[in-house]
Amino acid sequence: VSSRRALRGLCWLAVLIVPLWLAGEIDARGRGGGGRGGGGRGGGFSSRGPAMSGSLGRGATARPRPSTRPAPRPSTRPSTKPSTRPSTGQGARPGDRPSHLPSERPGQGGGGEQRPDRGEGREDWQQFLDQQQQDRQNYQSGMAHQRQEWWEEEGGHYYDGYEASSWMAAGMMFAVGATLTAAAVASLSCTMTPVAVSGTTYYRCGNQWYERAFTNGQVTYVVINPPAGH
Amino acid sequence: MALRSVLLLIACLVLAAPALAQEKATPGGAPEGGEPEGIDPEAVEAVRKAATFLVKAQRVAFRIDTEWDAVQPDGQKIEFGATRQVWLRRPGHVRLEGERRDGNRGGVLFDGATITAWDADENVYATAPKAGDVEAMTDYLVDELDYPLPLRYLVRRDLPERLTEGLRNAQFVGDAKLGDVLCDQIALRNDDVDFQLWIAQGPRPVFRRVVISYRLDDGWPQFRADLSDWNFEPDVGDARFEFVPPEGAEKISFAPRPRRARQSAEAP
């Protein structure tokens, strides 16, 4: 009798669970077949991938897929990232300031009674600037580090730069040896300027120096140390 | 009571059957099973014959129209493409020149001593010394200089081995007409990819189409190539393999594989 009860219990359990399981399967297949959104990135598709090689194997010519990389999106930025986008030197935006900062720049009016006196305010503002500078350095360092990891993960290739344009921060610094596609360069806030040094053409963008090279068949900008004398 | 239990059991099996069947399906809906297993020696021989025919040609020119799927991070598959013209003079001269669909023009050439790559739009070029034959050049270009060369095995003398090594499946699909050319369509599978070849029937068994499916990669991206304008008496004089930098062209370098470069930089 007990075995019959157990069998009956199992059957009822199956009757209850199987439809839920099937529903899950159908839902999963429906999502797979219908795509996963990804809108709003028009024109930024990567042409890279294993099928580009035309190889008959997955050896040296097979490239890691973009879909397998750790997605360097804003939500995954290092914890050292400040709540603000690093300033390009064009003035910090009020909305960018951390909440612990004075609500107004000293000497710019507003605040009235709540405004600290000038000396205290100047000190606070200096602390803000110092903190912002530190945050910026940490952020840049963190981003460059993450970029480097991604670069290594991908076998040293950036993919067409559309990822870069969506999350690259102004003033961001890259490790020497990092490679940027033309699209990634276009997303930088600085202007790439050719500089002839001893017969060789280098490129400068902000404080970073580059030279052009073929990387994976594309003309890219490779981060280098500054040329001698620069 | 026993009858009731049996009926319940049957009900359970009926409900569970679709789920069990679903479990057998390959994730992602990829087809699995059902394909004919085994190798048809005649299909392999047809591939080897076409490959040998090409290898025996000391000079040849042909056109490749390629397209490939690039699976985006969100899973969407986008097609890209390029057109290339190939001039080959064995054993040590090759020139590949073409244009991507985005309009970028460039190419690679090799004269038995130096590899030159150029990008006409950026007006840049790079050179690398490499003495040897086309086989050594393609290995060096792809593996060391990290420069992609799709279908590079088509210009190599080990083409028959490349196409037939490690096969797990080789079958004739049947006759297939591509344009005005009647072809044998042959489906092959190795440990990594599925690929199909279309080989012209008749006394000149040239490859007319190649389709490669990367079944181990997400989205099963494909590489497709149509091969045409086969010319076994092309003009492949020395001038074909000389590179004259355009006015104002900037000489740049090949960036070696970063991982390798980093390792060598770290080496004492």
pLDDT tens string B81-128: 999 999 999 999 999 999 999 999 999 999 999 999 999 999 999 999
Contact A57 B71 (CB under 8 A): no
| AA letter at B157 | R
Q: Quick check: A203 and A211 in contact, CB under 8 A?
A: yes
Beta bridge partners of B181: B178
pLDDT class for B152, splitting at 50, 70, 90?
very high
**CA torsion angle A90 A95 A100 A102 (round to 10):** 70
Rounded to a whole number, what is the distance in Å from the CA of B264 to chain A's nearest CA? 13
pLDDT class for A208, splitting at 50, 70, 90?
very high
A-chain CB neighbours of B219 within 8 Å are 67
At B108 the pLDDT is 98
Give how far Cα A15 sits from Cα of A1, A10, B181, Å.
Answer: 21, 9, 58
Q: Does A58 touch chain B (CB under 8 A)?
A: yes
Radius of gyration of chain A (CA): 27
Report the candidate in A46, A82, A229 with the shortest Cα–Cα distance to residue A154.
Answer: A46
Q: Does B79 touch chain A (CB under 8 A)?
A: no
Pick the residue from chain B with its C-alpha nearest to A40.
B74
% pLDDT > 90, chain A:
13
Inter-chain CB pairs, A–B, below 8 Å: 187
Give how far Cα B75 sits from Cα of A46, A121, A223, B101, B223, Å.
Answer: 12, 52, 31, 22, 17
Place of tokens 């007990």: A2
Burial B232-252 (b: 16+ CB within 10 A, else e): eebebeeebbebeeeeebbeb
Compute the distance between CA of residue A143 and CA of residue A141 in angstroms, rounded to an integer.
5
Instruction: Name the 3-class secondary structure at B144.
Output: helix
Residues 6 or more apart from A114 whose CB is under 8 A from it?
A: A103
At B14 the pLDDT is 57
Contact B225 A177 (CB under 8 A): no
Q: Does A186 touch chain B (CB under 8 A)?
A: no
At A192 the pLDDT is 93
pLDDT digits (tens, 9 = 90+) for A121-169: 455 555 545 555 554 454 444 444 444 444 433 433 343 333 344 445 5
Compute the distance between CA of residue A151 and CA of residue A156 in angstroms, rounded to an integer.
5
pLDDT class for B22, splitting at 50, 70, 90?
very low
| AA letter at B137 | M
pLDDT for A177 beyond 60: yes
pLDDT for B167 beyond 90: yes
Q: What angle do CA A36, A40, A43 make, to 5 degrees?
A: 105
- Does ipTM come in above 0.90? no
Q: Quick check: A77 and A89 in contact, CB under 8 A?
A: no
Largest CA distance in chain B: 95
Q: Does B25 touch chain A (CB under 8 A)?
A: no
Compute the distance between CA of residue B155 and CA of residue B137 in angstroms, rounded to an integer.
11
Contact A222 B255 (CB under 8 A): yes
Beta bridge partners of B216: none
pLDDT class for A52, splitting at 50, 70, 90?
confident
Q: Enter the DSSP assignment of B216.
A: T
Give how far Cα B114 sits from Cα of A36, B55, B111, B132, Å.
Answer: 47, 23, 6, 9
Q: How far is CA B65 from the centre of its chain?
A: 12
State the DSSP string of B189-214: E-SS-EEEEEEE-SSS--EEEEEEE-
Q: Does B214 touch chain A (CB under 8 A)?
A: yes
Q: Does A32 touch chain B (CB under 8 A)?
A: yes
Q: Which of A128-137, B48-57, B177-186, B223-232 has the lowest mean pLDDT?
A: A128-137
Q: Quick check: A211 and A224 in contact, CB under 8 A?
A: yes
Compute the distance between CA of residue A21 and CA of residue A101 in angstroms, rounded to an integer.
53
Place of tokens 């199992």: A10
> Half-sphere exposure (CA, 13 Å, Cβ side) for A108?
9
Residues in B 149-188 with any Cβ partner in A closer than 8 A: 150-153, 162-163
Q: Is the pTM of this model over 0.95?
A: no
Q: Does A45 or B192 have the greater pLDDT score?
A: B192
State the DSSP string of B22-75: HHHSPGGG---S-SPPEE-HHHHHHHHHHHHHHHH-SEEEEEEEEEEEEE-TTS
Residues 6 or more apart from B262 whose CB is under 8 A from it?
A: A152, A177
Contact B250 A212 (CB under 8 A): yes
Contact A66 B8 (CB under 8 A): no
Give how far Cα A147 sits from Cα of A72, A122, A175, B56, B241, Å.
Answer: 8, 36, 8, 48, 39
Compute the distance between CA of residue A194 and CA of residue A185 in angstroms, rounded to an integer.
13
Report the candidate in B174, B219, B220, B154 with the shortest Cα–Cα distance to residue B193.
Answer: B220
Q: Does A9 or B220 have the greater pLDDT score?
A: B220
